[in-house]
Amino acid sequence: MARPSRQGGESLRLALALLALGGAASLATGLLLRPESAPPRLAMLRVAPPAAPEAAPNRLLYRADGAGHFLIDASVNGAPVRFLLDTGASLVALTPEDARAAGLDPDALSYSAVMSTANGAARAAPTRLRSLRLGQLEIEDVPAVVMERPMAVSLLGMSFLDRLQGYSIREGVLSLDW
Output the furthest CA–CA distance in the chain (Å, rounded). Answer: 110
Query: How far apart (Å, rounded) are the C-alpha atoms in residues 138 and 14?
Result: 62
Using 70 as the pLDDT threshold, list the residues of the chain that sit under it. 1-56
For residue 100, count other CB atoms closer than 10 A to its CB: 15
CB-CB contact of 157 with 93 (8 Å): yes
Taking alpha carbons only, the member of 40, 153, 176 closest to residue 96 is 153
Query: CA–CA separation, 79 vs 45, rounded Å?
Result: 37
pTM greater than 0.75 (yes/no): no
Identify the pLDDT of residue 35: 39
The answer to whether 84 touches 69, Cβ cutoff 8 Å, is yes
3-class SS of residue 65? coil
Amino acid type, 28:
A
Whole-number Cα distances in Å, 33 to 15, 57, 170, 171: 27, 24, 18, 16
How many residues are present in the chain?
178
pLDDT at 22 (0 to 100): 47
Residue 118 has a pLDDT of 83
pLDDT at 53: 62
